């Protein structure tokens, strides 16, 4: 696909962009339908009374009514898509059937990442992975597309179907129009986002963060995975990390619902995503709720993290 001038971008909507990129018809339609779902979730966010649903989700966290509504919106949209066989959500205990059995795609979702930030009016988002094979046994070739929607001052959507990473913005007419074509990260950035309590970090991770700080990196952490990853992509560099912790070596974030889709998008933008040693996309999930440490962003910062965690000082 040829580079698109700034003057032309506002006239290219999501469907036309995917057609120009040569994405197969069914996948184009599915990505568009999920993007439309973001409009419905955005409306729910705006009308939300921010009250808790009164129970806990399967991971023992307080679950907002908004999480449950967002999950149901996605499920219903997929049921009527005609392209999706199975659906797996962070809000559900197991993979569920949403098609008749012959459809070729499986969709994973974190329906509302960062929902605890709603009452503070910070940006939150939806994370989607689209798979061709089983999400538990398909290996690194299972994931064929990924996207996330950010609900902030603007509603934006970033997607990739293996054709680069692209940003769209929802305009006043309710259309997603091209904003950033083929986002490419710089070799290194100057920001870092980091989760977990310092007292629970391993010493090698401590050393890594001190190194970034000594090199002048600026801390930018919202508490939401979607806005922090979005910042790294739009600013063209930096690193997000939620490391292994003392007593919790697998970290906090979930491999299938959060890390795999973001790793796909980041690698398509020329970045990297690892657990500190190996690629996130090379890790075959064993369970739906599997968690994993994460270092994701531009190559310099992620390679530096790997060097610190390996104890390879000569590579730093």
Q: At 266, which CATH number?
A: 3.40.190.80
Residue 36 shares a structural domain with residue 174: yes
Beta strands in 132-251 (DSSP E): 143-151, 155-160, 166-170, 176-180, 191-194, 218-219, 239-242
Regions of the chain where pLDDT drops below 50: 52-53, 59-63
Instruction: Please state whether the predicted TM-score (pTM) of the whole model is above 0.85.
Output: yes
- Number of compact structural domains in the chain: 2
pLDDT at 102: 87
Q: Could you tell me the two tokens for 136?
A: 């538990």
Cα–Cα distances in angstroms (integers) from residue 309 to residues 11, 55, 207, 229, in the given order: 46, 39, 9, 22
Residue 108 shares a structural domain with residue 76: yes
Residue 111 shares a structural domain with residue 208: no
pLDDT at 201: 96
Q: Where are the alpha helices (DSSP H) in 80-202?
A: none
pLDDT at 6: 61
Rg (CA), the chain: 19
Residue 252 resides in a domain: yes
pLDDT at 159: 98
Residue 164 shares a structural domain with residue 288: no
Residue 185 resides in a domain: no
Residue 49 shares a structural domain with residue 174: yes
Residue 160 shares a structural domain with residue 252: no
Residue 164 shares a structural domain with residue 215: no
Residue 1 resides in a domain: no
Distance from CA of residue 106 to its chain's centroid? 16
Look at residues 155, 180, 205 and tell me which one is the last residue of a structural domain. Answer: 180
Look at residues 151, 180, 209 and tell me which one is the last residue of a structural domain. Answer: 180
Residue 141 shares a structural domain with residue 35: yes
Give the structural domain span for 250. 191-315
Residue 159 shares a structural domain with residue 214: no
pLDDT at 116: 77
pLDDT at 61: 47
CATH number for the domain that contains residue 110: 3.30.540.10
Residue 186 resides in a domain: no
Dihedral, 254, 33, 82, 262 alpha carbons, nearest 10: -20
pLDDT at 117: 80
Count of residues in the chain:
316
Residue 82 shares a structural domain with residue 156: yes
Cα–Cα distances in angstroms (integers) from residue 199 to residues 191, 218, 232, 247, 294, in the given order: 22, 20, 26, 11, 18
Q: In 3-state terms, what secondary structure has residue 150?
A: strand
Residue 22 shares a structural domain with residue 116: yes
Give CA–CA dist 280/295, Å, rounded: 9
Residue 50 shares a structural domain with residue 149: yes
Burial of residue 42 (CB within 10 Å: 0-12, 13-18, 19+) is middle
Look at residues 126, 148, 180 and tell me which one is the last residue of a structural domain. Answer: 180
Residues 6 or more apart whose Cβ sits within 8 Å of residue 191: 217, 218, 219, 220, 231, 232, 235, 237, 238, 239
Give yes or no for a contact between 128 and 146, defined as CB atoms under 8 angstroms apart.
yes
């Amino acid at each position: 696909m040829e580079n698109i001038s700034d003057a032309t971008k506002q006239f290219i909507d999501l469907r036309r962009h995917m057609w120009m990129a040569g994405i197969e018809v069914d996948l184009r339609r599915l990505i568009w339908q999920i993007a439309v779902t973001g409009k419905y979730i955005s409306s729910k966010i705006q009308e939300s009374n921010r009250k808790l649903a009164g129970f806990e989700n399967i991971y023992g966290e307080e679950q907002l009514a908004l999480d449950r509504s967002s999950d149901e919106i996605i499920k219903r949209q997929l049921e009527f898509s005609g392209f999706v066989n199975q659906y797996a959500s962070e809000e559900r205990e197991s993979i569920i059937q949403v098609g008749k059995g012959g459809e070729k795609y499986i969709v994973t979702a974190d329906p509302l990442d960062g929902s605890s930030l709603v009452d503070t009016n910070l940006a939150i988002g939806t994370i989607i992975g689209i798979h061709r094979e089983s999400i538990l046994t398909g290996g690194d070739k299972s994931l064929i597309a990924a996207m996330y929607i950010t609900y902030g001052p603007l509603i934006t959507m970033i997607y990739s179907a293996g054709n680069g990473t692209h940003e769209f913005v929802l305009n006043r007419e309710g259309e997603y129009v091209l904003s950033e074509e083929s986002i490419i990260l710089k070799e290194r950035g100057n920001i870092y986002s980091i989760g977990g309590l310092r007292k629970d970090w391993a010493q090698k991770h401590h050393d890594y963060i001190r190194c970034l700080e000594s090199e002048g990196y600026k801390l930018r952490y919202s508490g939401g995975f979607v806005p922090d990853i979005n910042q790294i992509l739009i600013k063209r560099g930096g690193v997000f990390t939620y490391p292994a912790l003392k007593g919790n070596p697998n970290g906090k974030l979930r491999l299938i619902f959060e890390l795999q889709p973001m790793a796909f998008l980041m690698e398509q933008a020329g970045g990297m995503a690892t657990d500190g040693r190996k690629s996130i996309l090379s890790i075959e999930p064993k369970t739906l709720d599997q968690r994993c440490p994460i270092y994701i962003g531009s190559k310099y910062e992620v390679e530096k993290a790997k060097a610190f965690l390996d104890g390879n000082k000569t590579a730093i």
